[in-house]
Amino acid sequence: MIRLTKSVETPPSLLVVGNSTYNQQDVVSQLIEDHKGKCYLCERICITDYEIEHLKSSANKRELNTSWDNLFLSCSYCNRKKLQLFDNIVNPTTQNIEEIIQCVHLAENKNICFCSNELENQQVEETINLLHRIF
Ligand SMILES: [Zn+2]
């Protein structure tokens, strides 16, 4: 998983009143630019198989379907592994991925985790489970 800084400006198509689509060209282009073309989960550069991935799945969080903060670029493989089964993974735009990776290594090596709080521990555990499913 990569740490991301997404553009502050929401792509215009998401702001249109009554809009229910999240995959207009402006959204795709902005995500590709923000992610530098990489899938945020497996970190592979997506040449043609990129998809828009919902951090919190639209199946479970319909109201976040067109929320810019909830949209990420992933490859089709990772998107199909994640589905609506991993809605509580860490957020690569707001959480410190480097610290979490350290935490993951500690958890795997010593079966312990030094994350600062229980919520983050749950997110890290779910992220580990998803990444095991992907790799
Ligand atoms: Zn991927």
In-domain check, residue 2:
no
Domain count of the chain? Answer: 1
CA separation for the pair 84, 59 (Å, rounded): 6
Question: Residue 124's Cα: distance from chain center in Å?
Answer: 13
> pLDDT category, 81, cuts 50, 70, 90?
very high
6 found inside a domain = no
| pLDDT tens sequence across 3-48 | 899 999 999 999 999 989 999 999 999 999 999 999 999 999 988 8
The answer to whether residue 36 sits within a structural domain is yes
In the DSSP assignment, the letter for residue 11 is P
Distance (Å) from CA 52 to ligand 1 centroid? 11
Q: Is residue 77 domain-resident?
A: yes
Decide if 5 is inside a domain.
Answer: no
Has residue 103 been placed in a domain? yes
In a domain, 1, yes or no: no
More confident position, 27 or 106: 27
Phi, psi (degrees; rounded to nearest 5) at 7: -60, 145
Return d(Cα 115, Cα 101) in angstroms, integer. Answer: 11
The answer to whether position 42 is within a domain reads yes
Burial class (CB in 10 A: 0-12, 13-18, 19+), 80: exposed
Least confident among 9-13, 111-115, 122-126: 111-115
pLDDT over 70 (residue 113): no
Q: What is the pLDDT of residues 43-70, one digit of tens each?
A: 999 888 999 999 999 999 999 999 999 9
Domain range spanning residue 30? 12-134
Q: Ligand 1 centre and the CA of 89: distance in Å?
A: 15
Q: Residues with beta carbon < 5 A to ion ligand 1?
A: 39, 41-42, 75, 78
CA of residue 122 to ligand 1 center, whole Å: 22
